[in-house]
Amino acid sequence: NAGVTQTPKFRVLKTGQSMTLLCAQDMNHEYMYWYRQDPGMGLRLIHYSVGEGTTAKGEVPDGYNVSRLKKQNFLLGLESAAPSQTSVYFCASSYSGTRGYTFGSGTRLTVV
């Protein structure tokens, strides 16, 4: 009964480094989302996917890329990390997005 699993949970990057955040869900959900959470700003949508092989931009996509090669996995990539990308990243999945999401426990990323 894992739900949505995010790895890693914590990461420190140097400016210019790259990394990939992994989100895995075992609920056979079609919709998956990546959000970032910053103090006082709530959650802002980075990218989302409505099914295997599809991706789309959200509210704050710049500096990020995503892939959904398998239905259960949604990867978020940072090609050249910047301090402005220091944040907590949440992945979520949903059977039908407007019916509510199931969230992962988050990845805390610090870019120095």
Asked whether position 28 contacts another protein by CB under 8 A, the answer is: no
Instruction: Tell me the residue type at 24.
Output: A
Interacting residues with another protein between 59 and 98 (CB under 8 A): 90, 92, 94, 96-98
Instruction: Using the rule CB under 8 A, give the single segment among 19-27, 61-69, 75-83, 104-112 that binds another protein.
Output: 104-112
CA distance 83 to 67: 23
CA–CA separation, 27 vs 1, rounded Å?
A: 9
| Binding string, residues 31-60; x marks residues near another protein by CB under 8 A | x-x-x----xxxxxx--x-x-----x-x--
- Number of Cβ within a 10 Å radius of residue 83: 10
Is the Cα dihedral 37, 103, 71, 18 positive or negative? positive
Query: Is 100 exposed, middle or buried, given 0-12, 13-18 or 19+ CB atoms closer than 10 A?
Result: exposed
- The yes or no reply on residue 103 touching another protein (CB under 8 A) is yes
* 19 forms part of the interface with another protein (CB under 8 A): no
Instruction: State the minimum distance, in angstroms, from the CB of residue 23 to another protein.
Output: 11
Q: Where on the chain is the footprint of another protein (CB under 8 A)? A: 4, 31, 33, 35, 40-45, 48, 50, 56, 58, 90, 92, 94, 96-106
